[in-house]
Amino acid sequence: MHRVLVQTLLSLHLIVAALAVGQAWAGAAEYLIPDNGDSVIGTMTTVIAEQEDTILDIARRNGIGYEEIMSANPGVDPWIPGAGTEILIPSRYVLPDAPREGVVINLAEHRLYYYPPAKKGERRVVRT
């Protein structure tokens, strides 16, 4: 019974993920996969909050989630960070230790990675 429930839940997660992929990739960031075998992609950046900004506004503009931005900016008020406050944008990722093809779901970080098929003569990319 437990095994059937786990398989059903996993199937539902995969269906939801597949449905979300079409919409999610429209706003996803695309990174070149390092040729040297490194698993780290992206860069850490910062933005300066404006008077009317909330942390959610900044997260949405930068394509990251609430948990990610709050973890990167402890102590910052999510509703009124304050004009001139430097906000860290966590946009550096360690690629999951999994085959780099198709959709890979990293449950621990609540993130989807999509490895589209490589075109001949072009470098491999990942979208997240």
Residue 51: the pLDDT is 95
- Full-model pTM: 0.69
CATH number at 48-90: 3.10.350
Predicted pLDDT of residue 7: 60
Check if the beta carbon of residue 43 is closer than 8 Å to that of residue 54. Answer: no
Distance CA 63, CA 21 (A): 14
pLDDT for the residue numbered 27: 65
Tell me how far apart the alpha carbons of residues 1 and 21 are, in angstroms, rounded to a whole number. 30
**Residues in the chain, pLDDT under 70:** 1-27
Selection from 125, 53, 47, 50 nearest residue 91 by Cα: 47
| Sequence ranges of the domains in the chain | 1-43+91-128, 48-90
Give the 3-state secondary structure of residue 58. Answer: helix
Tokens of 76: 């910052």
The per-residue pLDDT for 26 is 57
d(Cα 57, Cα 78) in Å, to the nearest integer?
A: 10
Q: Which two tokens stand for residue 48?
A: 């300066």
Between CA 107 and CA 110 the distance in angstroms is 5
pLDDT averaged over every residue in the chain: 86
